[in-house]
Homo-oligomer: A and B are copies of this chain.
Amino acid sequence: MRSMVLKIWLAVLVAVVAGCPLMSGVRAEAQLPVVAAWIVPQVAQGTDADRIASLEKKLAEQQVAVAAAQTSGDNSWMLTSAALVLLMTGPGLALFYGGLVRKKNVLSVMMQSFAMMAVVTVLWALVTYSLAFGTGNAFIGGLHNMFLRGVGLEPSAYAPTIPLQTFMIYQLMFAIITPALITGAFAERVKFSAMLVFMVLWTIVVYSPMAHMVWGVGGLLNAATGKFPCLDFAGGTVVHVTSGVSALVMALYVGKRAGYPKTPMAPHSVVLSFIGACLLWFGWFGFNAGSALAAGTLATSAFVATHFGAAAAAIGWTAAEWIRNGKPSALGAISGAVAGLVAITPASGFVTPMGALAIGLIAGVVCFFMVVKVKVWFGYDDSLDAFGVHGAGGTLGAILTGIFAKSTIYPIFGVGKATGLLEGNGHQVLNQAVGVAIAWALAIVGTLLLLVIVDRTIGLRVSAEEEEAGLDLSLHGEEGYEWSH
Contacts and interface: CB of A to CB of B under 8 A. Distances in A.
Nearest to A268: B482
A141 to B, nearest CB: 17
Contact of A355 (B1, B20, B146): B20
A301 interface: yes
Contacts of A66: 62, 65-66, 69
Contacts of A102: 482, 485
Nearest to A355: B20
B303 A169 contact: yes
Interface stretch (A215-223, A376-384, A387-395, A403-411): A403-411
Interface in A45-64: 48-49, 51-53, 55-60, 62-64
A268 B304 CA distance: 36
Given A23-B147, A271-B272, A358-B16, A308 B121 contact: yes
Interface stretch (A25-33, A205-213, A429-437, A442-450): A25-33
A31 B411 contact: yes
Interface string A351-391: 01111011001000000000000000000000000000000
Nearest to A13: B361
A67 B62 CA distance: 10
B354 A22 contact: yes
Nearest to A123: B12
B91 A64 contact: no
A314 interface: yes
A83 interface: yes
Contact of A354 (B57, B147, B274): B147
Contact of A20 (B103, B146, B282, B358): B358
Interface in A258-278: 264-272, 274-275, 278
Interface residues of A, number: 187
Interface stretch (A131-139, A179-187, A234-242, A473-481): A473-481
A193 B163 contact: no
A323 interface: yes
B30 A153 contact: yes
Nearest to A299: B79
Given A23-B355, A147-B23, A322-B5, A282 B55 contact: no
A254 B328 CA distance: 22
Contacts of A479: 266, 270
A298 B264 CA distance: 53
A114 B273 CA distance: 13
Interface in A283-328: 285-286, 289, 294-301, 303-304, 307-308, 310-312, 314-316, 318-319, 322-323, 325-328
A250 interface: no
B34 A68 contact: yes
Contacts of A267: 482
A463 interface: no
Given A26-B151, A91-B278, A330-B111, A1 B193 contact: yes
Contact of A90 (B15, B118, B271, B281): B281
Interface string A85-126: 011001100110010001110111011001101110110011
Interface string A398-441: 00000000101111000100000010000000000000000000
Of A87, A354, A408, most B-chain CB atoms within 10 Å = A354
B147 A19 contact: yes
Contacts of A485: 102-104, 265, 268
B169 A307 contact: yes
B315 A122 contact: yes
A115 B56 contact: no
Contacts of A18: 147
B319 A5 contact: yes
A285 B408 contact: no
Contacts of A275: 91, 95, 275
Contacts of A285: 79, 82-83
7 contacts: A5-B193, A23-B147, A30-B296, A86-B307, A91-B275, A103-B482, A329-B477
